[in-house]
Structure 1
Amino acid sequence: MARIWSYTGETGPEFWPNLSQEFYEAAQFPLQSPISLSYEETQLLYEEIIFHYERQRFHIKNQNDTIHFEPANKGSFIDFLNKRYYLTDIHFHMPSEHIITNEQIPLEFHLVHKNNDGGLLVCAVLFYLTEETAPLWEDENSEFLFDPSLLLPLNSGYFYYEGSLTTPPTEGPVQWIVFDQKKPISSFFIERFKTNLFPNNRPLQDKRDRTIYYKK
């Protein structure tokens, strides 16, 4: 069975479930991501998300139509809803996959975490491009030193909802944290990794009356 997928043509998002049995089964999860978000539809969330990120070594991998930054160890993690999730991957989508109050942003980073039970939590941070030239990493090869906390917004406000992965297999459940503060990022950073694969954003999915929370 074909397992090659893309964002256009006969292997694009609308055909992902047809490319393999695994993709089909994952697509049956009803709460797919990404979705559009607005403040009016949310319920208040009071639980805090606590970040324990550290400067560490990452490996660079070009896979699944984007660039992935994979930490060398479990040094960075978060605590949320009485569970600990370890950072396993950082990647980005252009333009943004989530839309807040009908606005699509040029860039969305996903910080993917997994707990010891295999549960997934993804933090999404939205960025706009600037002309600054300072890179975020040290060493220009397949490995680099990086502090992932540099990607986090100063404002801690975020949406929280249950969804799925946004790339095949689009399995769920995935706990989503989508920060609403947009951050600047150097266009130099993006140009270093940009390829002919963009745009690489999955279209918006049906909300299906799911509960969406907001933490101020």
Structure 2
Amino acid sequence: MKKLALPAVLLLAPLLASCAAAAPVDDAASTAPPPATAGEVHWSYHGAEGPDEWSHLTDDFAACEAGDAQSPIDLPEHADEKLTEHPRITSSPTVGESVDTGHTVQLVPDGDASEIEWRGDEFDLAQVHFHLPSEHTVEGRTMDAEFHFVHTAEDGQVLVLAVLAEEGGAENEGWQPFIDGAAEPGTDDLPIDVASMLPTDPTFEEYGGSLTTPPCTEGVEWVIYHEPVELSAEQIAVLREKYDDNARPVQPRGDREAHEGTITVEQ
């Protein structure tokens, strides 16, 4: 498995260099990004309803252009700032259902699949979805896919745990239930074992950003693993057959800094 060093700061709130706690986002935005049902306004990844036009489709999407802490971003190879706090993930195997949103396929857990404790807050997994190719880049390099583990807190804060993926050799067993659900949306009782879906290297990058889909709400905290997971060519092909280009282009990073840390996973 190739190992990729990502910059240290990828998350959902305008954390900027201060590393302040993520600001709350409204419930509608926090429940299931990417929100396929963002109002009645149709949006897409191409043409007259594509990313360059999102902010013009409705005032509700104004942040897609006016926001100054948008995601995704291009990450540096190495982050200068190191975090002393360590997020903790508690992974509890459960089952869930796959849902085609019209923009991606989500795996929605029936029970408590994972909980993240971070800076005094607790975030529960709402859903996992994919983008192809990756939305975040590293020194301009795009990966084959990117998965977002969207976690929400009771007060509406959103934390997205992101895992980049590249095409490798053998089938990745930990990701096969997700692949099966992507192949046949609507499938239920799919096993979800978050711990088996994460890279072995606990190093991550963290920053404050936004949802990567309309309404592009800011105040989202991003935590992105350094090391990509490997999926087989056949597994990538299943995702590509569903959505072969559902990635928002990289947004200006501005004065936001990346921060590097390590995460603890408990089962």
TM-score of the pair, normalised by structure 1: 0.91
Amino acid in structure 2 at the alignment position of 1:116: E
**In structure 2, how many angstroms separate the alpha carbons of the residues matched to 1:196 and 1:50?**
33
Name the stretch that deviates more: 148-157 or 158-167: 148-157
**In structure 1, how many angstroms separate the alpha carbons of the residues matched to 2:82 and 2:54?**
34
SS in 1 for 2:207: strand
- Matched ranges for 1:55-66 at <5 A: 55-66=93-104
Name the stretch that deviates more: 195-204 or 77-86: 195-204
What displacement does 1:12 show? 0.5
Q: 2:149 aligns with which of 107, 111, 129?
A: 111
Q: Paired residue for 1:17?
A: 55
Q: Paired residue for 1:68?
A: 106
What displacement does 1:45 show? 1.1
Name the stretch that deviates more: 114-123 or 44-53: 44-53
Amino acid in structure 1 at the alignment position of 2:196: L
8 Å contact kept, 1:36–1:99 = yes
Identity of aligned residues (%): 29
Q: Paired residue for 1:31?
A: 69
Q: Paired residue for 2:237?
A: 191
Q: 1:50 aligns with which of 88, 100, 104?
A: 88
Q: Paired residue for 2:34?
A: none
SS in 1 for 2:248: coil
Confirm or deny that 1:166 pairs with 2:212: yes
Name the stretch that deviates more: 111-120 or 145-154: 145-154
**In structure 2, how many angstroms separate the alpha carbons of the residues matched to 1:126 and 1:134?**
14
Change (3 A) 1:193 1:107: closer
8 Å contact kept, 1:95–1:107 = yes
8 Å contact kept, 1:27–1:169 = no
Q: Paired residue for 2:44?
A: 6
SS in 1 for 2:167: strand
When the two chains are superposed, the root-mean-square deviation of aligned CA atoms in Å is 2.2
Amino acid in structure 1 at the alignment position of 2:98: I
8 Å contact kept, 1:2–1:19 = no
- Matched ranges for 1:92-103 at <5 A: 92-103=130-141
- Matched ranges for 1:131-142 at <5 A: 131-133=169-171, 135=173, 136-137=176-177, 142=187
Name stretches of at least 5 consecutive residues in structure 2 with no aligned partner.
Answer: 1-38, 263-267
Name the stretch that deviates more: 139-148 or 151-160: 139-148
**In structure 1, how many angstroms separate the alpha carbons of the residues matched to 2:63 and 2:75?**
26
Name stretches of at least 5 consecutive residues in structure 1 with no aligned partner.
Answer: none
Q: Paired residue for 2:254?
A: 208
Confirm or deny that 1:82 pairs with 2:141: no
8 Å contact kept, 1:134–1:188 = no
SS in 2 for 1:150: helix
Q: 1:182 aligns with which of 223, 228, 232?
A: 228
8 Å contact kept, 1:49–1:78 = yes
Amino acid in structure 2 at the alignment position of 1:63: T
Name the stretch that deviates more: 164-173 or 135-144: 135-144
SS in 2 for 1:195: helix
Change (3 A) 1:195 1:22: farther
**In structure 1, how many angstroms separate the alpha carbons of the residues matched to 2:80 and 2:158?**
22
| Higher-helix-fraction structure | 2
Amino acid in structure 2 at the alignment position of 1:155: D
Q: Paired residue for 1:157?
A: 203
| Higher-strand-fraction structure | 1
8 Å contact kept, 1:2–1:20 = no
**In structure 1, how many angstroms separate the alpha carbons of the residues matched to 2:214 and 2:206?**
22
What displacement does 1:64 show? 4.0
SS in 1 for 2:106: strand
**Equivalent residues, number:** 216
Change (3 A) 1:191 1:41: closer
